[in-house]
Structure 1
Amino acid sequence: MKVFGFTGPRNSGKTTVVEKIAEKLVNEGYRVGYIKHAGREEFIDVAGKDTSRLRDSGAARRVVIAGSESAIFMEPLELTKAYSFFGGFDYVLVEGFRRSYIGPRIVVARKIEDAIGYIDELTVGIVLTGTTQPSGSYKDIPIFSLEDVDKVANLVKTNALNPLPGLNCGKCGFKTCRGLMSAIIRGEASIDHCVTLKALKEVRLKVDDVYVPLNPFVAGLLRNILIAFISSLKGVKSKPNKIEVIVLE
C-alpha cells in the first residue's frame, strides 16, 4: 500500500482533484482508498441520526451496516494508525493533514499566490484549479490544471510511497521521518533506509485491529520466540511460512 497526499487552502478544490485522480486510478484497475482530515469539525456524524443519538447516550463506537457499505464511528485516530484499515490496497489518497502527513504530496490552490504558503520540501506538484492553462513550474515543481488528470495521476503513481511509521527513531540516519522522506523525494535516500519498515516485512503486530510499529530488535525477538515455541509443537513444520496468533480477552 502506497500513500500520496493533497493539501492546500480551504475551498481550493482539493476534494475535486482527489476525486478525479481516484477515478482515474480505479479505471486503471487499482484499488484506491481515501483519508480526509475534517479538522474544523467536532463530529462527523449528522445530528439527530440514530448513530449520533447513541453517541450522545455514551456509546463510544457505533457501526452501521447497509446493503452496499458499512460505516464505523469511533474515537479519533492518528493518521499512521488509520493506514491499518487499508491492507491490500494499492494507493491511499490523503487529503489534508498538512502537518502530520509525512509523504509526497500535491498542493492544490486556485492560483499560485495561494499555493506558495503550502509548498514545502515534500511537495512534488501543484494543481491550480482557477485556470485551465497553468504555466510550467514553480521552483522546479511542475504546475498542472484540473484538465491534466492523466499527468497528475502519473505523478501520483511515480511518487507514491509506503507510509513511514512516524517514530522519529533516527535509526535511518536522519533525525526525523520527515527528514528521511524529504531526502527520498530529493533522490538522496530510499524507502529502504527505514529500518522499521524492514522489520514489518517479517513481523507485524496488530492490537485491536491497529498495527503497532516495531523496531528491528523487538521484531526479531518476537519472531524468534514464536518460531522457537511453534517448532516444539507436534505436527508443525520446523520452518513455517506464516504464523498467526490471536489473543482474545
Structure 2
Amino acid sequence: MRIIGIVGTKNTGKTVLVTNIVKKLVERGFDVGTVKHTTEGFDIEDRDTWKHKEAGAQVVVGSGDETFLNIGETMELDLIFNLMKYVKELDFVVVEGFKHSRYAKISTSDYKDDLTIKNVDVRDLKPADIESLVDMIENRSFGIYQSLNCKKCGFESCDAFQKAKISGDASKDVKCETEDDNVVLKVDGFAIPMNPFVKSLVKNVVRGMVDSLRKDEYGAHETKRIELLINDEDN
C-alpha cells in the first residue's frame, strides 16, 4: 500500500485533484482508498446514528448497503492506515489534508516541505498533466513509515529511503521490505512495527498452533486469516 497526500490552503482544488488522481489510478487497475482531514463531523444531525452518538456511544457503526465507523475522537494517521489495511487490501491511499504527515505530498498552493514532490495549480491542469502526476505518484510514493532502520531496502535508514523516493533517486520498484501486510501487531491500539525475522516467527508460531486445533469442527476449513486478541487489563 502506497500513500500520497494532497495538501494546500483552502479553496485551492484539493478535492478536485484527489478525485482526478483516484479516477486515474483506478483506470490503471489499482485498488484505491482515501482519507480526508476535516474539522467538522461526518454524521448528519438528527439521523439515527447521530442520535446514537449524542446519547453517549463512543463508537457508532452503520451497516447496510454501506458500512461506516464513527469514532468520537481523533486518530493518528498511521493507525487509520493500519485499520484500512485490516479491512481491505489497497494499492494506494490518497490523503486530503494532513500537511504535516511523513508521506509524499502534492501541494495545490505555495505550501512545500521536504516531502513535497510537486506544487500544482489545479485550475491549469490538463488531462496529460494528471497522467504525469499519477506517473510521479507511482514512482515516488511509499507505504507506512516503519522507523526501523533495518537497511533491507538498501538504504542506511528509513529517512534516507524516504528522501530517495521523494527525489526520484530510488526506482519505482524499491520499497520498504519490512512493510508486510500479512502480519500486523497492535498493542493498546497502536501499530507496532516488527522486523522480518520477528514477523516470520510470529506468523509461523501462531499458524502452527492454529493448525493443531480442531478448527474444521467449527467451520474454519481454511486458514486464510487468523485474528488473535489478548486482553491484559489487570496489568
- Shorter-chain TM-score: which interval? 0.7 to 0.9
Give the Å deviation of 1:220. 5.2
1:137-156 correspondence to structure 2 within 5 Å: 145-147=125-127, 148-156=129-137
Higher relative contact order (CA 8 A, sep 6+): 2
Mapped to 2, the partners of 1:104 and 1:230 lie a distance apart of: 39
Mapped to 2, the partners of 1:83 and 1:192 lie a distance apart of: 20
SS of 1:88's equivalent in the other structure is coil
The number of aligned residues is: 215
- CA-atom RMSD in angstroms: 3.5
SS of 1:158's equivalent in the other structure is helix
Deviation digits for residues 54-82 of structure 1 (CA, Å, limit 9, x no counterpart): 11211111111233x22110143211111
Q: Sort the Cα spacing of 1:179 and 1:50 in 2 relative to 1 into closer, same or farther, 3 A.
A: farther
Mapped to 1, the partners of 2:150 and 2:230 lie a distance apart of: 33
1:141-180 correspondence to structure 2 within 5 Å: 145-147=125-127, 148-165=129-146, 168-172=147-151, 173-174=156-157, 177-178=158-159, 180=161
Give the Å deviation of 1:17. 0.4
Deviation digits for residues 28-48 of structure 1 (CA, Å, limit 9, x no counterpart): 32211101111x33x322222
Contact 2:106 2:117 in 1 (8 A): yes
Mapped to 1, the partners of 2:35 and 2:149 lie a distance apart of: 27
Aligned to 2:228: 246
Give the Å deviation of 1:184. 3.1
SS of 2:135's equivalent in the other structure is helix
Percent of paired sites with the same residue: 30
TM-score, normalised on structure 1? Answer: 0.69
SS of 1:106's equivalent in the other structure is strand
Show structure 2 runs of 5+ residues with no match. 215-222
Contact 1:17 1:146 in 2 (8 A): no
Q: Sort the Cα spacing of 1:45 and 1:11 in 2 relative to 1 into closer, same or farther, 3 A.
A: same
Partner amino acid, structure 2, of 1:10 = K
Give the Å deviation of 1:120. 1.9
2:43 pairs, out of 45, 59, 81, with: 45
Deviation digits for residues 101-159 of structure 1 (CA, Å, limit 9, x no counterpart): x22221112xxxxx1xx2122111222024x3xxxxxxxxxxxx254222222222222
Q: Sort the Cα spacing of 1:186 and 1:209 in 2 relative to 1 into closer, same or farther, 3 A.
A: same
Mapped to 2, the partners of 1:150 and 1:104 lie a distance apart of: 17
Contact 1:36 1:95 in 2 (8 A): yes
Asked if 1:222 is matched to 2:202, the reply is yes
Aligned to 1:70: 67
Aligned to 2:16: 16
Q: Sort the Cα spacing of 1:98 and 1:179 in 2 relative to 1 into closer, same or farther, 3 A.
A: farther
SS of 2:108's equivalent in the other structure is strand
Aligned to 1:81: 79
